[in-house]
Amino acid sequence: MPAQSFPVSEIVASQRPHRKDAARNYDALLAAAREAFAEKGAEASLEDVARRAGVGIGTLYRNFPTRRHLFESVYADEVNALCRVAEEVAGLEPWQALTSWLDRFTDYMVTKRAVREALDDESDVFLACRDSMYAAGGPLFERAQKAGVAREDMDFGDLLRMVAGITATTFTDDTQRDRVLSVALDGVRVTR
């Protein structure tokens, strides 16, 4: 299956600096912000993000002039990674491709919950991310349906809402979350 271009990848690429040292700092800041937001939510301090990235607060502000810009960049980077996973798993058997992508989607949901409150659902970045995510994962679900291994009485939006609802619940650990998600996906899978 040929690689597909997703609009959010252009957003991510346009924001990343070209100089190697600046690009390293940018990537470190995104990783640190993702980690801090996952642990502490949208209230994580920017000073903590800079410290985790091993850079000064001035470097953070040069890359991300506002807190909102940092949230949008982390969110776009997460969606871009989700789109890349769709391309990587596209050659797998339909059910395996879909569930491999959904595994990454559950990780994405952790970051999304943390930054969601800071984003406007109608911002250009949010809309581009949503469109890219649907363009990446939707065909995997449709392929599973055509192969007869996924229910045909639901659409991709239904599937994402189900998984998002499950991941929004508090679990004792990731094993419990994965077990509950597996049970839910058994209700989506068609077996013959």
Give the pLDDT score at 2. Answer: 38
pLDDT digits (tens, 9 = 90+) for 54-107: 999 999 999 999 888 898 888 888 888 899 999 999 999 999 999 999 998 988
Give the pLDDT score at 11. Answer: 58
How many whole angstroms separate alpha carbon 49 and alpha carbon 135?
Answer: 31
Give the pLDDT score at 136. Answer: 92
Give the pLDDT score at 121. Answer: 64
How many whole angstroms separate alpha carbon 157 and alpha carbon 159?
Answer: 5
Give the pLDDT score at 7. Answer: 57
Give the pLDDT score at 119. Answer: 67
> Distance between alpha carbon 145 and the CA centroid of its chain, in Å?
23
Give the pLDDT score at 1. Answer: 38
Show the domains of the chain with their CATH numbers.
7-186 (1.10.357.10)
pLDDT over 50 at 6, yes or no: no
What's the CA dihedral at 180, 143, 145, 166 to 10 degrees? Answer: 20
How many whole angstroms separate alpha carbon 170 and alpha carbon 144?
Answer: 29
pLDDT digits (tens, 9 = 90+) for 15-65: 666 688 888 999 999 999 988 988 887 888 999 999 999 999 999 999 999
Residue 41 is classified by DSSP as: G
Residue 17 is classified by DSSP as: -
pLDDT over 50 at 4, yes or no: no
pLDDT digits (tens, 9 = 90+) for 144-176: 999 999 999 999 999 999 998 998 888 898 899
Give the pLDDT score at 14. Answer: 58
Q: What is the pTM of this model?
A: 0.79
Handedness of CA 113, 115, 120, 126 (dihedral sign): negative
pLDDT digits (tens, 9 = 90+) for 123-140: 777 788 888 889 999 999
- Cα distances (angstroms) measured from residue 169 to each of 94, 109, 115, 117, 166: 27, 11, 17, 17, 6
